[in-house]
Amino acid sequence: MLTSRKTFLPFALPSISEEAIEEVAQVLRSGWVTSGPKVKQFEMEFGDFVGCKETIAVNSATAGLHLALEAIGLTSEDAAITSSITFTATTEVICYFGAEPILTDVDPIHNLMTPESLRETIDNKCKWNGKELKSKKTGKHIKAIMPVHLAGHTCDMEGLIQIAKEYNLYVIEDAAHAFPAVHKNKMIGTWGDFTVFSFYATKGITTGEGGMVTTSHKEAAERIRKMRLHGINRDAFNRPGWYYEVVDAGYKYNMTDIAAALGVVQLKESHGFWERRTEIAKHYNQEFSSLKGIKLPKEDPNGIHSWHLYRIEVDPKIAKVGRDTLVEELKERNIGTSLHFIPIFEHPYYKKTFHYNRKEYPNACLMYDKSVSLPLFAGMTKSDEKDVIDAVKEILG
In whole angstroms, give the CA distance from residue 133 to residue 86: 23
Residues in Cβ contact with 14 at an 8 Å cutoff, skipping those fewer than 6 apart: 201, 202, 206, 377, 379
Let me know if 203 is a catalytic residue: yes
Q: Is the dihedral of CA 7, 179, 205, 34 positive or negative?
A: negative
Q: Which residues pair with residue 374 across a beta bridge? A: 310
The type of residue at 295 is: K
Burial class (CB in 10 A: 0-12, 13-18, 19+), 107: middle
Q: How far is CA 208 from CA 41, 132, 151, 294, in A?
A: 17, 41, 19, 33
Q: Which DSSP letter does residue 126 get?
A: E
154: three-class secondary structure by DSSP: coil
The number of helices, as runs of H, and strands, as runs of E, in the chain is: 12, 15
Residues in Cβ contact with 328 at an 8 Å cutoff, skipping those fewer than 6 apart: none
Is the distance from CB of 295 to CB of 323 less than 8 angstroms?
no
Is the distance from CB of 264 to CB of 41 less than 8 angstroms?
yes
Is the distance from CB of 96 to CB of 251 less than 8 angstroms?
no
- From 140, 143, 203, 370, active-site residue: 203
Closest residue by Cα to residue 324 from 335, 311, 333, 337: 337
- Kind and range of the H or E element at 115? helix 115-125
Give me the active site residues, please. 203
